[in-house]
Structure 1
Amino acid sequence: MTDIVCPACAAVNRVPPDKPAHEARCGKCHQPLFSGQPAELTAASFDKAITRNGIPVVVDFWADWCGPCKTMAPEFKKAAQAMEPAVRFAKLDTEAAPAQAAAHGIRSIPTMILFKDGKEVARQSGAMPAGQIVQWVRDAGRG
């Protein structure tokens, strides 16, 4: 069984290994667990999303006023579409969740952090195209 946090309601779901994860739905809200869209995290859902998912989680720390963040957003979405359900992609607005950004030492945006089992395993600052995001996640996930 793999734990997957629902991007819609933050309920933790246990997905059996014999069930296709891309078809799985939340047991609480019945929304798809994977939609090819990065999950929108909040201050309240952030910790659960990075610690309770049984798959790696890539978080894009961004802000609405950040031009490079806006440029990278569609590329981040393409990377999510390419890598789900093996990796959860999520976004955290640093203006709406400053405590979480500060706790992770975010000094420039966009910054992506790859988490495994709640621990940071890699970090990358600056906007990147989808292909580079995918390659970075694959390379970082080996370590």
Structure 2
Amino acid sequence: MSNIVCTHCNAINRVDAERDALAAKCGKCGEPLFAGEPADLASEALERQIARSDVPVLVDVWAPWCGPCRMMAPEFEKAADVLEPRVRFTKLNSDENQALSARLGIRGIPTMILYADGKEKARTSGAMPASQIVQWVSGNLCKS
């Protein structure tokens, strides 16, 4: 059993490992637990994902005015399509969530932060194509 936090209502769902997580729906709101695309979350919802979800969480910290962020957005979506449900893909708008961005030590955007077991596992800044995102995430999850 794995705990999966719903990106729509923040409910914690227990999903059997034998069950297809892509087909799983939230027991509270009925929305799919994985949509194959990044979830744009506010601070509290993101912190709940990191703290309570059993799957690794990848955060793309971005801003609407950032050219490289806008260029990377479709690539981040393509990577989500490849790696979900093994990894939860999320986006954090640094303009709308300035306190959390500061607490995370964001110095430049786009910045991706990978969390596993509630702890930061890796971080990188700069736009990259989907294939490189997939390689970066997979490589960092394989490290002990």
Residue 138 of structure 2 corresponds to 138
Residue 79 of structure 2 corresponds to 79
Deviation at 1:44, TM superposition (A): 2.1
Cα distance in 1 for partners of 2:10, 2:128 equals 28
Deviation at 1:111, TM superposition (A): 0.1
Matches within 5 A, 1:1-143: 1-143=1-143
Cα distance in 2 for partners of 1:74, 1:66 equals 14
Cα distance in 2 for partners of 1:39, 1:4 equals 14
Cα distance in 2 for partners of 1:118, 1:64 equals 27
**Structure 1: runs of 5+ lacking an equivalent:** none
Say what the alpha-carbon RMSD is for the aligned residues.
Answer: 0.7
Corresponding residue SS for 1:17: coil
Cα distance in 1 for partners of 2:127, 2:71 equals 7
Deviations 1:79-130 (A, max 9, x none): 0000011000000000111111111110000000000011101001000000
Q: Given the two structures, how large is their TM-score scaled by the length of structure 2?
A: 0.97
Deviations 1:30-49 (A, max 9, x none): 00001111011102212101
Identity percentage of aligned residues: 55
Q: Given the two structures, how large is their TM-score scaled by the length of structure 1?
A: 0.98
**Structure 2: runs of 5+ lacking an equivalent:** none
Runs of 4+ with deviation above 6 angstroms: none
